[in-house]
A and B are shown apart, each in its own frame.
Chain A
Amino acid sequence: MAGNYYERSLNFALQAGKINFMFPGSHLNFDQNRLVWAHSLTPSPLSSTYDVRLIYKRGEDPNVFVTNPKLKLYPGETKLPHVYNTDKQWLCLYFRKAREWRPNMLIANTVISWTCEWLVHYELWVGTGDWHGGGIHLKNEFNINEKQK
């Protein structure tokens, strides 16, 4: 599956260069097959600050985790919204099956900005109990047009 667009993927030095340009001083390690980025994001001026870790392996989708702090839940909820795993704080940022992100896209302009957006909407979810960031709930994934808040 990955091989289908392997040849069109941006090389990791280019991805890293853009990340470094936008987030100077952040932790960034990469070689030909793997890119790991760690940074503290403040997703809106009055937001808290979150440590995030992004891992991108060649041929796979980039995965983003909030490593600190432990995220709060809206009272009565047991899971975070739009995550693959609440304990790992592993974020669902885009619809993978629809290939909203492709390896020919710059991570800095896509996955990282979606991470910031996720964090703001997470903060609003903790306060209001509703997800205001739009997207697709798992149960609706075969009907992309049906967006659910």
Chain B
Amino acid sequence: MILAWLIIIPLAGGLAAWPLGRKNAALTRWISLAALVLDGVLLISFWSDPSSQAALGRGTWLIELNRPWIPQLGISIHLAMDGLSLVLVALTLFLGIISVACSWTEIREKTGFFHLNLMAILAGILGVFLSLDLFLFYFFWELMLVPMYFLISIWGHENRIYASLKFFLFTQAGGLLMLLSILGLYFMHGRSTGVYTFDYSLLLGTSLTPQAAFWLMLGFFISFTVKLPMVPFHPWLPDAHTEAPTAGSVILAGLLLKTGAYGLLRFVLPLFPDAAMTIAPTVMIIAAIGIGYGAVLAFAQTDLKRLVAYTSVSHMGFVLLGIFAWNMTAMQGAIMQMLAHGVSTGALFIIAGMVQERIHTRDMDRMGGFWSTIPRLSGMALVFALASLGLPGFGNFVAEFMVLLGAYRVNVLVTAFAAGGLVFAAIYSLWIIQRAFHGEPREVWKIPDLSRLETGIMAALIIAIFWLGLYPRPVLNTTGPALNMQQRSMPVESHSNAGTMANISKREIIR
């Protein structure tokens, strides 16, 4: 039941916060915060439980919940958590708390409805990370869209209507393709075994013709890579990220993109290993192109938030590269990148939001010379710009290094090209600092430096990013066995190439 509570508590918190918003805005914020903290305490107490620790070491499910929901169609409420879900749930709650905190002063209108939407998105994301029934997964997948749409279209910036529509249509179209694939798998499994079910564990070993497997895989793949996003499915991202309110940007970049990566790891690879293997080389090339493309476009932006949005495209290219390099090092690196990107890009969006809250523009041409007026904020910006360019010591470095290390063994050329993206990362990151924070002030701004709340938010993010960079072992130990278990459950051994790769990877789990 603990898994259900993880999802119910934020939702209940949001529902409680809604009616209170009209009378007392502060109370709404406190309720949301309390619900998320309660969820976090629940997770940590469960995490530190000896039996959970033992299960983590084995890589099995820590806890499962399986109740019939619509038994007539083989649909159940099947939730489960392993190491992979665990770290992502932790990231969700961490960034959830951060986004409530960073909306504290930004959102002054319709606070109640805002928090309802915020909490509903978080509940949807938690559901996505925990569902093991494909119908339930699709349910949560779609569920998180609507509140996100509201978040952008009501509390967003100038061009919010266009951005929110684009976001919704892209992800919805992707989601419908996934629906087709889910149903295709459902019927093919039902025909061959007589059991009509949406249960992940039962569908795992479905025997499919290579052609059928390919098309079904493609439906899932496109849906997830729209969310990720993979070039060329990325056009929704810069608009949505730029126009969303700060909390929306943080959740979009930090969490929503990760659901795509999670889907690839949890569903595409295990359900269709052979079909995924056939497209892996192509996907790696696209990923490398995405890394370079995102970085080059980021460099060309003058809108601070838009710039950060394009860096996301580049960074998520590493995630895609890592997943489809398909060995333990690269996949671990991809997961590290998901966490590190969540923290560092989230932080950059918060900084952009703070700047905008102060000077009411995101145009970098009007910034400059902030270092002397707001030194603390500028210092924070420098820290996260350095994190974003992958300086050793930050989580991003560990992640990108591991991805490149793993990918190198599979395709040297692609890896070399992807590594070139790091150079661009250095350019755009320093560009932000140069344009906005150093140099002569282009306009005279009289603005306050970080408040105590803002300092607290940034401190939490800095601790997190350094922790990931300096002591990543707990994370790797948590996700490693789970990934390993998942790899073993795949029937890829038949595939000679994959078999050797899996064997290599088993030896090199970082201890």
Q: Do A and B come from one complex?
A: no
Interface residues of A (CB under 8 A from B): none
